[in-house]
Structure 1
């Protein structure tokens, strides 16, 4: 058990815990959930061509604005120095279809923007065809750094020969005092998994493979990329059910959405290459 707890400690990543509610900071570039994004003058509101659960018509639909984060305020909490130290990170998702991310055709259902110059931003006006229920109410947020640890599937990824009874792993987590809350939204760190490890899904779907059925035959290069996915991909933003002040936003049945990005793309600030996964019970 001592070796197992040491191995878990060694895989710790820094994360930033998010709690939503209360009055938002309305200053330009301030971190907040919902409301309207602060964007540069040339910003074009993202759309995604899709039907929805309520409308079979396939047409371009505006993405909903989820949240924005002031990078300068995040910097003291981002102890691993992964995020930009200036500007604003903004997250969007098409809520009418709530795509899952296992289909290459899902590309564009979610978008991440980094606006480096906060002084050049101003509040955007949502498109007229964005349904009112997808114009999310503005809320404040509390942020705190916390240690984050992998779930069992991510812990054993790449060493499947060690997988047996997972009970010792969860016992070791409990010994370390690692909590597993029912609801957690965060930036960075490890994802809280609902339906198993999904970094391989990010890797293969991003390569154009459809994963909504039987696992496709993989080339040697694809198989190696799948094995390396847990080491090569990084959680960027995990958004759980948001419930505050009489408002609720839920993904599927008590699910979560996860914005993920390759570490090399994060380092190069290629946020347009982020990929979204939805999981629910």
Structure 2
């Protein structure tokens, strides 16, 4: 499906919404609620040509001289995670020798070895994959920059791509790191890739992305119906909801080729519902992977503040950086934590249809 760019400004947004069957009052409210965002458009580049400290997706991080590559500890629930991976490794081998198996024994052996490697990794320290760095001084020159964020330094995102920790578990939070670094560019060093990451990467799958240079463009992002601040019309208005969702679909989602999938700030284009709610519960110690927890008084009270969570970064499929996994990654924080510069409280959610 062909996609069109997000609106560049308020007038473009209203003009586009006027093509729907929504009434004038709803269109006015939707336009007023839209948030500016900065698209992060990538181009393929030799990393040596990208300046130290500049925005980029993938490659090697520019860290303060002497700083170590971020390494997560063993997961607090490593025994359960490792047991699941080893059970799956054994199942793959057993299934491959059944009649009419879709896997050859050689394929099953390869997949099983990968699962056992994941089991070993969750039980020990392991380096986080580098997703990218974002020059806030450069981003702040864009009209769509949100002044809630600092306008100096860089944000660097690291994530456990091998494990892809689930967003609904409090224990998963060791599996990512968002750093705000204000080190002068003259004191930065481009860090080498840890052997533990490069050694598990091959032509089919990699924890190491190619460096892709970033250029920026301001857009307006429409509010999605699943955002906790939604009030444009009742969600049980089937006609209005269908009209709006059909209109939203023309902009696509960040797991698609042929569009700009990375974004700083604004509203996300999510692939699943519950982004803010799950962040709120997991950040407050509640595992919300099952249904029962949502019925508790503690969860109901916490969910009253789920609207405080907002998008910091959206990272999607990128052919230049070699991010080919289906789905997208959403970095979210509470507005209060952004204002307090508590980037250690960021959460990363991976979504995939």
Confirm or deny a common fold (TM above 0.5). yes
Secondary structure of 1:28's aligned partner: coil
User: What is the aligned counterpart of 1:213 among 285, 290, 298?
Assistant: 290
**CA shift at 1:5, angstroms?**
1.2
Aligned to 1:263: 335
Aligned partners of 2:171 and 2:249: how far apart in 1?
37
Alignment gaps of 5+ in structure 2 = 1-22, 76-81, 86-113, 255-260
Decide whether the 8 Å contact of 2:311 with 2:332 is kept in 1: yes
Q: Whose helix proportion is higher, 1 or 2?
A: 2
**CA shift at 1:10, angstroms?**
1.9
Work out the number of aligned pairs and report it: 273
CA separation of 1:166 and 1:197: change in aligned 2, threshold 3 A: farther
Decide whether the 8 Å contact of 1:156 with 1:162 is kept in 2: no
Aligned to 1:249: 323
Using the size of structure 1 for normalisation, the TM-score is: 0.88
Alpha-carbon deviations, 1:149-192, whole Å to 9, x = none?
121111665x69932134413524767x8842233221110111
Q: How does 1:25-64 map to 2 (within 5 A)?
A: 25-48=49-72, 49=74, 54=115, 55=117, 56-57=119-120, 58-64=123-129
Secondary structure of 1:162's aligned partner: coil
User: What is the aligned counterpart of 1:135 among 201, 204, 208?
Assistant: 208
Aligned to 1:191: 268
Using the size of structure 2 for normalisation, the TM-score is: 0.71
Aligned partners of 1:223 and 1:85: how far apart in 2?
36
Alignment gaps of 5+ in structure 1 = none
User: What is the aligned counterpart of 2:311 among 235, 240, 243?
Assistant: 235
Decide whether the 8 Å contact of 1:86 with 1:117 is kept in 2: no
> Is 1:122 the equivalent of 2:196?
no
Aligned to 2:252: 181
Q: How does 1:136-175 map to 2 (within 5 A)?
A: 136-154=209-227, 157=230, 162-172=234-244
Aligned partners of 1:161 and 1:167: how far apart in 2?
11
Q: How does 1:8-87 map to 2 (within 5 A)?
A: 8-23=30-45, 24=47, 25-48=49-72, 49=74, 54=115, 55=117, 56-57=119-120, 58-77=123-142, 78-87=144-153
Aligned partners of 1:271 and 1:170: how far apart in 2?
37
CA separation of 1:79 and 1:249: change in aligned 2, threshold 3 A: closer
